[in-house]
């Protein structure tokens, strides 16, 4: 009885220690949940172990050294269940707290990233566009609280933190098909979706080979209404690109004023260079979306009931039925909805917008702990895809829904691999203040 109480007490304090370090370290045990009951032959210990491992499994650590420590710890736990449990609990904690970060320059994908960026640096700048602020609005210098401030907020939106933003110019609208066509005609640029898929690049991103039989012909992701609610709603369609948004057979007739889609992050950066502009940082984007309002959930305020007159998003049962209460089933022409208080259109809905920054789900915690909250992410990390390089996208799209992703909230963060184009992803540009 005394031993059981002691073990329960050790487990209790061990969990408290884990919670204390949760915001300091990045950790996750490479351990299958279904196996932990095999370690213990006592039900009370199994119950305690369940608390520990369920907590640990929420975090992330995948390096080889950590796996070795975990495996060693579990072997020792199995042979000493009724002995000294505490030292091996701390071995697990030590392993869990080891970061799996490595310099971003060491990532195999960076070889391809550098190739793309070198190609972009060779694009000539259009001096007529670079020397004007036509089609842009001035975003004044200021401070704001960045991060989640609503019940729909996700973990990567916390903690809230104050940011100081210097004044800058921002495109009034998302870049349109007509604007992007001008860029392509002037430079001969070919978007990523129009190029053959490079298997070596896929391997560098995922660590795996392309499945046998998968074509490498140019393609992009198009939304399709699934045949059942749980089915996947994205389909890789050959020939889909900014010129053919729904795939082969579709075109841009009557869509010059619609936002360009199927543009990868590299395509957006290429356009921005040609126009003498750049992509906004994630902090600049959120500051601009809030329009000078404090703690507003949406660009227009806090009332979701105003969504249909303020943004192009999915009304109805996603992904099965869109009621089209806003008048649009897919993209809408820019300026179709009222602007926010800075005079920016479609900061909510229509298409997701690329930002300059790498996506790191832990970055807000790092900023909060740093003395300088204006720092930028120097690595990428997504616990769902730890090795996948991804860039931030913001603003939501015509596929966002109040019951699904609510991506049209000011604080909502999303991410995508920089070489991926989708039917609901576009961009707008900014210029540093002058």
CATH assignment of 104-432?
Answer: 3.90.1580.10
Q: What is the mean pLDDT of residues 75-93?
A: 46
More confident residue, 386 or 60: 386
Measured in degrees and rounded to the nearest 5, phi and psi for residue 343 equal: 85, 20
Composition of the chain by helix, strand, coil, percent to 5: 35, 15, 55
Query: How many CB atoms are located within 10 Å of the residue 91 CB?
Result: 17
Q: Say yes or no to pLDDT of 400 above 60.
A: yes
pLDDT at 197: 87
Using DSSP, state whether 14 is helix, strand or coil. Answer: helix
CA-based nearest residue to 413, from 352, 330, 367, 351: 352
Q: What is the mean pLDDT of residues 269-294?
A: 96
Query: How many CB atoms are located within 10 Å of the residue 164 CB?
Result: 13
Q: What sign does the CA torsion over 389, 395, 399, 404 have? A: positive
Kind of pairing between the strands at 219-223 and 391-394: unpaired
The radius of gyration of the chain from alpha carbons, rounded to an integer in Å, stands at: 24
Using DSSP, state whether 305 is helix, strand or coil. Answer: helix
| CA separation for the pair 205, 222 (Å, rounded) | 21
pTM attached to this predicted model: 0.77
**Element housing 322 (H / E):** strand 321-322
**Helix 64-79 with 86-97: angle, nearest 10 deg:** 170
Residue pair 386/420 in contact (Cβ under 8 Å)? The answer is no
Q: End-to-end alpha-carbon separation of the chain, Å?
A: 74
Q: Model confidence over 10-43: pLDDT tens digits? A: 555 454 444 433 333 332 322 223 333 333 344 4
**Distances in whole angstroms, Cα of residue 81 to Cα of each of 3, 30, 34, 371:** 11, 21, 18, 44
| CA separation for the pair 401, 152 (Å, rounded) | 12
Burial of 134 (0-12, 13-18, 19+ CB in 10 A): exposed
Q: Where are the alpha helices (DSSP H) in 207-350?
A: 265-274, 282-290
Q: Say yes or no to pLDDT of 114 above 80.
A: yes
CA-based nearest residue to 350, from 248, 266, 255, 226: 255
CA-based nearest residue to 135, from 174, 105, 185: 174
DSSP code per residue over 371-392: S-TT----S-B-TTSTT---EE
Q: What is the mean pLDDT of residues 376-383?
A: 88
Portions of the chain given CATH number 3.90.1580.10? 104-432
Q: What is the mean pLDDT of residues 69-85?
A: 46
Q: What is the mean pLDDT of residues 302-326?
A: 85
């Amino acid at each position: 009885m005394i031993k059981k109480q002691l073990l329960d007490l050790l487990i209790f304090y061990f969990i408290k220690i884990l919670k204390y370090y949760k915001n300091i370290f990045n950790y996750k045990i490479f351990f299958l949940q279904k196996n932990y009951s095999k370690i213990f032959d006592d039900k009370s210990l199994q119950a305690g172990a369940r608390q520990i491992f369920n907590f640990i499994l929420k975090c992330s650590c995948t390096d080889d050294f950590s796996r070795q420590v975990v495996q060693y710890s579990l072997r020792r736990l199995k042979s000493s269940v009724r002995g000294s449990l505490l030292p091996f609990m701390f071995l697990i904690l030590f392993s869990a707290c080891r970061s799996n970060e490595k310099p971003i320059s060491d990532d195999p994908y960076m070889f391809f990233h550098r190739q793309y960026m070198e190609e972009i640096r060779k694009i000539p700048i259009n001096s007529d566009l670079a020397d004007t602020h036509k089609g842009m609005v001035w975003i004044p210098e200021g401070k704001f609280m960045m991060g989640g401030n609503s019940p729909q907020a996700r973990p990567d939106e916390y903690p809230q933190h104050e940011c100081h933003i210097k004044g800058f110019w921002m495109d009034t609208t998302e870049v349109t098909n007509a604007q992007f066509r001008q860029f392509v005609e002037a430079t001969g640029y070919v978007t990523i979706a129009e190029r053959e898929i490079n298997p070596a690049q896929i391997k560098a991103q995922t660590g795996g080979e392309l499945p046998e039989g998968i074509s490498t012909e140019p393609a992009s992701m198009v939304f399709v209404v699934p045949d059942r609610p749980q089915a996947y709603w994205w389909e890789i369609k050959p020939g889909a690109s900014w010129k053919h948004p729904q795939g082969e057979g579709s075109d841009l007739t009557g869509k010059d004023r619609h936002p360009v889609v199927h543009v990868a992050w590299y395509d957006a950066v290429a356009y921005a260079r040609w126009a003498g502009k750049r992509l906004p940082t994630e902090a600049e984007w959120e500051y601009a979306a809030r329009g000078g309002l404090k703690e507003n959930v949406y660009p227009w305020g806090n009332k979701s009931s105003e969504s249909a007159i303020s943004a192009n998003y999915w009304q109805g049962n996603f992904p099965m039925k869109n009621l089209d209460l806003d008048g649009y089933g897919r993209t809408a022409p820019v300026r179709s909805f009222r602007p926010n208080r800075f005079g920016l259109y479609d900061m909510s809905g229509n298409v997701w917008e690329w930002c300059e920054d790498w996506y790191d789900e832990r970055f807000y915690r790092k900023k909060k702990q740093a003395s300088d909250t204006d720092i930028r992410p120097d690595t990428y990390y997504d616990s769902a895809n730890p090795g996948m390089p991804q860039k931030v996208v913001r603003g939501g799209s015509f596929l966002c829904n109040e019951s699904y992703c609510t991506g049209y909230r000011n604080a909502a963060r999303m991410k995508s691999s920089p070489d991926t184009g989708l039917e609901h992803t576009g961009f707008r540009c900014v210029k540093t203040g002058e």
